[in-house]
Amino acid sequence: MYILARISEVQSIETNRGPNWIHGAGENPIMNIAEATEAAMFDPDEGGHIAFAPDGQRVPEDVNAQVQDFVWTTISEAFKYSNEHGGKITAEKSLLDFFRDRVQQTDFSDEVRRLCLDACKLWGTYVGDQVDRQSLRFFRLEECVDGSNFVVASTYKRILEHVSKTALAKAEIRLNEPVKTINAPNRTPTTKPTITTTKATYTFDEVVVTCPLGWLKQNTSAFNPPLPPRLQKAITNISYGRLEKVYITFPHAFWHQTEPTISAQFLEPQYAPHPKHIEWNQECLSFAALPSPHAHPTLLFYTYGESGAHIINSIQGLDPLSAEYKDVLTQALHPFYSRLPGYDGSEPTAFLATQWQKDEFAGNGSYCNFQAGVEEADVDIEVLRGDGMGLERGLWFAGEHTAPFVALGTTTGAYWSGERVARGICGGLEGEARDDSSPSAVLRD
């Protein structure tokens, strides 16, 4: 959670620096918690989606509808293809290769084909990296829980309060004390796992490591005895994405006046200055359409991969309330927001950009993804769950990268992974090993 403070006014807006969405409203525990805590939800699919062509002109509505239809149909065909052909697909083949093949089979004009390929690149905002790096073989691991995707208009605040309630009430929580080493030898009647932080060493019956995959990548040496070679290999094999967000607040939502715009895509923008070798597609979502009282005149830009990294590098170390910070982000994003319908020259009143790539405790990135070249990502994920070590050493692994396949990279997956470990520990305590890695097992119980 973060407060987006306006520079010029004493007014603040609550935003999420991490998740905004619930991916798949079907059998989803986060959706259940959202409903139980009366979180306000918003379905952005309700309309107002526009796109801009590489020359900066609006893509006509009928062409945009054709392009979007192609993109989403091809995404679902790619899921099907990945599910059905899996191991037979060359490891190097990317989602972009699949799109290129499919677009060739259409009778679209060259211009529409190009728009389709540009639009499919915005899949990058889902995984945090370019689609030419998205493994087609393991694209199936990106499939989410069935059902609509919702934005949590009232932010994840209540969901977070709900899931943290028991821990806050009953656990002893030590903040500002990063873990440095984790000692977990095989269990004996006299050995227990210990953790050394920057301040002290503690002994536990069981240790659950929920550090992000990006942290594990940089800290396998924190474990003593060393993690098994196959687990270390899995940590290396699975990639870690680079999704970032930039919130921009305006005095009023000009894009919402005459032609309410919920989202806009800017395809391969030739009109926006950027390093030539970097893909520069952008996408923004309006918060002016959220249900009352959560609506605010803010646009959320999602950035990913190399373009996101470029923007984040250019604001590194700058005070978010400084003029320089504002200038850098204005320069990067003015070419886009100034094209939205109704633009009247308004200047932003506040900016906030996440910098997960600069945060070692976020593992210098966002969440796991599956890049072209990975040979057996499904096995890697199973290994990352590290279940054997729980019973043998009292060392358990949870977090989005250990989630059931259908929820990897999401809050739902992180939640389910915690349930799996809790069941493993309780089962272990009862002298019974359990395998509850599938969501259906969790839901069934």
Binding site for ligand FAD (CB under 6 A): 18-21, 23, 178-179, 210-212, 215, 243-245, 354, 356, 361-362, 366-367, 399-400, 409-412, 414
Give the chain as a 3 state SS string: CEEEECCCCCCEEEECCCCCEECCCCCCHHHHHHHHCCCCEECHHHCCEEEECCCCCECCHHHHHHHHHHHHHHHHHHHHHHHHHHHHCCCCCEHHHHHHHHHHCCCCCHHHHHHHHHHHHHHHHHHCCCHHHEECCCHHHHCCCCCCCEEECCCCHHHHHHHHHHHHHHCCCCCCCCEEEEECCCCECCECCEEEECCCEEECCCEEECCCHHHHHHCHHHEECCCCHHHHHHHHHCEECCEEEEEEECCCCHHHCCCCCCEEEECCCCCCCCCCCCCCCEEEEECCCCCCCCCCCEEEEEEEHHHHHHHHHHHCCCCCCCHHHHHHHHHHHHHHHCCCCCCCCCCCCEEEECCHHHCHHHCCCCCEECECCCCCHHHHHHHHCCHHHHHHHCEEECCHHHCCHHHCCCHHHHHHHHHHHHHHHHHHHCCCCCCCCCHHHHHHC
State the nearest-atom distance from the C-beta of 147 to ligand FAD, in Å.
13
State the nearest-atom distance from the C-beta of 368 to ligand FAD, in Å.
8
State the nearest-atom distance from the C-beta of 109 to ligand FAD, in Å.
35
Closer CB to ligand FAD, 74 or 417, in the complex:
417
State the nearest-atom distance from the C-beta of 404 to ligand FAD, in Å.
13
State the nearest-atom distance from the C-beta of 107 to ligand FAD, in Å.
36
Closer CB to ligand FAD, 116 or 216, in the complex:
216
Closer CB to ligand FAD, 211 or 389, in the complex:
211
State the nearest-atom distance from the C-beta of 245 to ligand FAD, in Å.
5
